[in-house]
Structure 1
Amino acid sequence: MTENQKHGLELSIDSSSQRPLKIGKTTDELFHGDEEEAETMNPKPGIQRYLVAVEYIGTRFYGSQQQPNCRTVVGALEEAFQKFIGQPVSVFCSSRTLPPHEPGVVHKAVNHFLQKHEGDVTVVDVRSVPNDFHARYKAQERTYFYRLVSGPEALSSFEKDRAWHVPETLNIGAMQEACKVLVGHHDFSSFRAAGCQANSPIRTLDELNVCEVASTPYFPTSMERKQRQGKEESEIEVPCSETCEVGFGIRRRHRCFVVTARARSFLYHQVRLMVGVLKAVGSGDLTVGDVGRILEAKNVSSARPMAPACGLYLGHVKYDLPPAPH
């Protein structure tokens, strides 16, 4: 994951499909779709299916799926793939196919055409997969990250649309205790936004934690550089923010927190709703006990306002794939 990544998509491409574009919601935690799509994706002779990992800055697009007269992620990818293979290509947010090419060739060629334009969509990996592979339904685990920056200073221009700016001081210890309440197998109805298409609110949350990291972009002072010399990475303290004396023209850094959520699947807006509750615990508006009561209420109206989309990153989707060829 890079700092510019807003959302990751695992998808592939079908150069011969003329079916209407059908895509799940990709602006949040789970691709919602219908099982019929997996059943109707029949392989064709002479066609290789690819799994393509994509990163993009979501705030620069009008969503992911194709829309008339709007710039979308799918539109940018379709344009780049068409320039690569010389014919129209339909992109779907699941596994698709192309005429056979080496994955490395697909990777370099598509990025070449993407970078010639806005450069805010990048293919980060391409793998050949079996013809029955489906990126949505074959996913074993998804990991999301959410970035919060805390402090009274105005948000840096470099952090705009990259994190949720919280002016209050956050109690990371209380937030970590609140995370423990939500980990496990639960009915997450209180963290399920309206419009969720999942059949059941029951999910198993394998990991939820919060840690403090250095704020970015971080440029160490001469004193900090000297302090880092000879130290292991684990020994380096996170730079101070609110209490540090800074010189003229030097921005006082925010504290930066990253929430990690890992599960096989998530409900619609589940991660952002959980972060909203964790932030309220960190600021003292809720207690750890309140988190348990919200979970037991099984009603989304009992949760705190949802965290904004700007801080959400899809970091990793785990598949059972053969080792990549060297």
Structure 2
Amino acid sequence: MNGCKARYLIFFQYLGTKYSGVVKAPPDQPVKGIQNYLEDAVRKLKPVNEVAVYISSRTDAGVHALCNSAHVDIQRRTGMPPFTGEVLAEALNFQLRPEAIRIVGAHRVADTFHAQRRAVARTYVYRLATGASRQAPLPLMERNLCWPLRDSELNIGAMQEAGTLLLGRHDFSTFRALSSDAPFQDPVKTLLHASIEPGRESFAQHHFHRNLQFWEVTFRCRSFLYKQVRRMTGALVAVGRGKLSLSQLQELLEARDSLAYPTSMLAPPDGLFLTRVEYEEQDLLHHRQDWLTES
């Protein structure tokens, strides 16, 4: 007989530059996704069940995460107790050592818990760098971690006003890139937060690249459409550069048509970070209490 099966919620971070995205890539694809490496790491712990990691939030190739999440079931052999969250995180990190992927937390949850469906909000931050040029290129340690703009200044006030136009409940079809699952996604979303603020001075900026200014564009919503954040960021940058007016942004939003969005305006993946996936704390505590009672 085998031991009991335990479900875990894991939080993890990664630099997405060398991966095909967070979703698992097929076996014949040379560049793998984060999910491939997570599942391989779990398999090396020798569970008796088939391993499947369920990712909460999709990110594409080149996009990073300070905190994504997923759930996974692990059934150990008879006589072996379930892993504690701390031990599981340490064991997975040992297996993931060669990769730019790290587990930052693991928690045992109820068998009915689903990482994607239980999430109540997700926060993305897009990093911009103004003032980059041929004479003053982006610092090496910031490569692939922000969008370098040669503009020395952006109209931040206009960008902040543009962000308020996107707040609230809208049909965001214009800001959804077409994909195979697009027809099944509800384009109506409630954007809870949109802001642009100065980023903290980086180490390289402080010591050498003083001409650079970093900015952080932040969006928070229960869920986002495919490439919605990159499209919204690109639109705000276009407003900041004076290439898109507020009225034109409003027209794009009201068009509710993915093809109405200028493809040249899309922000590149490099500067995008998933920074937080939120769950109801009471829900998670309830799951932990159930586990303690059963134990």
Please report the TM-score for the alignment, with normalisation by the length of structure 1.
0.72
Displacement of 1:205 after TM fit? 0.5
* CA deviation vs aligned residue, 1:56-96 (integer Å, no higher than 9, x gap): 11111123313324333122222322223366733332532
* Match of residue 141 from structure 1: 121
From 202, 227, 236, the equivalent of 2:188 is: 202
Comparing both structures, which one devotes a greater share of its residues to strand?
2
Displacement of 1:197 after TM fit? 4.5
1:257-296 equivalences in 2 (<5 Å): 257-296=215-254
Q: Distance in 2 between matches of 1:199 and 1:110?
A: 33
* Match of residue 72 from structure 2: 96
Q: Distance in 1 between matches of 2:3 and 2:113?
A: 15
From 115, 124, 138, the equivalent of 2:104 is: 124
Displacement of 1:114 after TM fit? 1.2
* CA deviation vs aligned residue, 1:269-313 (integer Å, no higher than 9, x gap): 111100010000111111222211211122233334211111111
What secondary structure, in the 3-state scheme, does the structure 2 residue paired with 1:54 have? strand
What secondary structure, in the 3-state scheme, does the structure 1 residue paired with 2:96 have? helix
Please report the TM-score for the alignment, with normalisation by the length of structure 2.
0.79
Q: Distance in 2 between matches of 1:103 and 1:206?
A: 31
* Match of residue 80 from structure 1: 41
What secondary structure, in the 3-state scheme, does the structure 1 residue paired with 2:141 have? helix
Q: Distance in 1 between matches of 2:183 and 2:209?
A: 44
1:114 corresponds to 2:76 = no
* CA deviation vs aligned residue, 1:143-192 (integer Å, no higher than 9, x gap): 11111111133222111110111111211111001001110111111111
* Match of residue 60 from structure 2: none
Q: Distance in 2 between matches of 1:270 and 1:277?
A: 11
* Match of residue 8 from structure 1: none
* Match of residue 252 from structure 1: 210
Instruction: Decide whether the 8 Å contact of 1:149 with 1:215 is kept in 2.
Output: no
1:169-180 equivalences in 2 (<5 Å): 169-180=153-164
Cα RMSD between the aligned structures? Answer: 2.2
User: Identity over aligned residues, as a percent?
Assistant: 35
Q: Distance in 1 between matches of 2:168 and 2:149?
A: 28
1:157 corresponds to 2:117 = no
Number of corresponding residues: 252
What secondary structure, in the 3-state scheme, does the structure 2 residue paired with 1:105 have? helix
CA separation of 1:285/1:70 partners in 2, compared to 1, >3 Å: closer, same or farther? closer
Unaligned runs of 5+ in 2: 56-69, 76-81, 290-295
Instruction: Decide whether the 8 Å contact of 1:145 with 1:312 is kept in 2.
Output: yes
